[in-house]
Every structure is written in structure tokens, then in C-alpha cells.
Amino acid sequence: MTYSLAIGDRTYSSWSLRGWLLFAKSDIPVDVVSARMYSPEFIDMLKDFGGGRLVPAIRFDASGGSVIVSDTLAIAETLAERHPDKHMWPQDPAARGFARSITAEMHSGFAALRNDCTMNLRHCYQGFSPSDAVLTDIARIEKIWSEARSRWGKSGPWLFGEYSIADAFYAPLATRLLTYRLPMSALAKEYVETTINDASFKEWRIGGLAENYVQPGYDMDLQTTPWPNA
Ligand SMILES: N[C@@H](CCC(=O)N[C@@H](CS)C(=O)NCC(=O)O)C(=O)O
């Protein structure tokens, strides 16, 4: 059961990070191929993954032949279905229902935060002014994290105690709070720290820094402070 995973720039591609974390945090072996977004190589890479336009995408062999799955939510559900022993969703039905809901909400929502504050693992900025729409997104994220942690988070530091698909989906939102120095409650700060101190996340970020590439249009002309745990 060998998987291939196609990703984009580790520093900037939030969906690639989510897709990769699904494998890394569940210890599912995977061969990763990557290409710089918006380059001809990126389009070429995706020809082996069904010829879609976006990352992440995965490919694996099944009894009926080669299977290609694109879109992070579809990848998450595919892996959870194929690896039930990994408990990628919480075991408790109420927790699982909430985890699925907030994962889907993230997948289709938080447009202001995602558009105004693109993921950027190179920088922590000073002086970014969030719009009201961004603040509204943050308030909702705070509510989600607080509910998950207070109801199901007693057994560990993640949203549902143990790591789940929901944590992979919220990881790039956690880094955005840090990168743009957005307002955070104590609970959110703790969860952001859990996210960025995780060994798999650190491995990903180091890989991104090693790519040593500034994607045009992604950096802001603002003062920066050092990334906290670098
Ligand atoms: N809904 C998709 C979104 C994927 C997506 O937007 N990926 C971006 C990278 S973060 C991409 O491939 N961008 C390349 C492009 O727009 O050409 C998912 O869940 O995977």
C-alpha cells in the first residue's frame, strides 16, 4: 500500500501542509513529490495525479487499479477509511461529529482570514491590521477551539485530546495567528504553540526554509520578528 503525495511550496501551500500532516501524524508511509506553485513543473507534476490544477493530490494502487484522490477533505476521508486502526477521527461519536463539522467548516470557510493572511511560514509580522471580517473569523475559530478543547481535549494537547484530522486542517490557521500577530486568547495561544512545536510541523517548516524561495505576492512589506521556536 504505497502512496504518492503531490504538494506545492512548503512555506506557502497551506493545503499541502494539511495533506502532508495527515500522513505524517498517522505514520502512514508516503512518497512525496513537490513542485513550485504556478510553475510549468507544477502542471507537469499533476499530470501523474489525474491532471488536476491543485495540490494536494494522492495516488495509490488498489485492487481495481491506480486510484487518484485530490482535495484535502477527500484525501482525509480516504485515509481514514483505509486505515481505521489509525483513528484519524475521534473515537467518541459526539466528538467525531463535531470534528467532522469543524473540519468541513474550515474546508469551506474563513475566507477573510485565508485571503487576507496567506500562510507564510517564513515570517512573523509586526503591524498587520486585521479587517473586521478577519476578526470575525478569528472569533469563530476561538469558539470552535474552545468548545473542542473543553469538551474533549482532556487526554492531550490537541483539539480532541489525541491528534485528529481536525488538527491537520486547523494547523495553517494556527500559524496565521502567529505570522500576522493576530489577537489570541490564552487557549488559542496554547494551541498555536502546540501546533508549531510539534515535531512533524517543525520538519515541514524546515523543509520549506530549505526550499529558500519567496513566492511572488506572498510576503508583506512589514517589519518582522523571529519565528518563536526556530
Ligand atoms: N479545496 C482544495 C484547495 C487546494 C488548493 O487551493 N491548493 C492550492 C495550494 S494551497 C494550489 O494548488 N494552488 C495552485 C494554483 O492555484 O495554481 C483542497 O482542499 O485541497
Span from the CA of 55 to the centroid of ligand 1 (angstroms): 5
Span from the CA of 15 to the centroid of ligand 1 (angstroms): 6
Cβ neighbours for 139, distance < 8 A, ≥ 6 positions apart: none
Mean pLDDT of 50-58: 97
The secondary structure element, H or E, covering residue 136 is helix 132-152
Mean pLDDT of 187-201: 98
The secondary structure element, H or E, covering residue 6 is strand 3-7
pLDDT of residue 150: 98
pLDDT of residue 219: 94
The C-alpha cell that represents 35 in the structure block: 513542485
pLDDT in tens, 73-104: 999 999 999 999 999 999 999 999 999 999 99
Residue nearest to atom 6 of ligand 1 (CA): 54
- The segment(s) of the chain belonging to CATH 1.20.1050.10 are 93-204
pLDDT of residue 30: 98
CATH of 93-204, one of 3.30.70.20, 1.20.1250.20, 3.40.50.620, 1.20.1050.10: 1.20.1050.10
Span from the CA of 209 to the centroid of ligand 1 (angstroms): 20
pTM greater than the 0.85 cutoff: yes
DSSP assignment of 163-219, as one string? --HHHHHHHHHHHHHHHTT----HHHHHHHHHHHHSHHHHHHHHHHHHH----TTTS
Predicted confidence (pLDDT) at residue 194 exceeds the cutoff of 80:
yes
* Among 130, 214, 201, 125, residue whose Cα is nearest residue 170: 201
- For ligand 1, mutation pick of 5, 15, 18 (most atoms within 8 Å of CB): 15
Residues with CB under 6 A from ligand 1: 8, 13-16, 37-38, 53-56, 71-73, 107
CATH topology of domain 3-86: Glutaredoxin (3.40.30)
8 A C-beta contact, residue 213 and residue 36:
yes
C-beta atoms surrounding 75 within 10 Å: 22
The β-bridge partners of 160 are 162
pLDDT in tens, 116-154: 999 999 999 999 999 999 999 999 999 999 999 999 999
pLDDT of residue 41: 98
pLDDT of residue 230: 64
Span from the CA of 8 to the centroid of ligand 1 (angstroms): 9
Binned at pLDDT 50, 70 and 90, residue 229 comes out as: confident
- The segment(s) of the chain belonging to CATH 3.40.30.10 are 3-86
Predicted confidence (pLDDT) at residue 1 exceeds the cutoff of 90:
no
Could you say which DSSP state residue 26 is in?
T
Cβ neighbours for 39, distance < 8 A, ≥ 6 positions apart: none
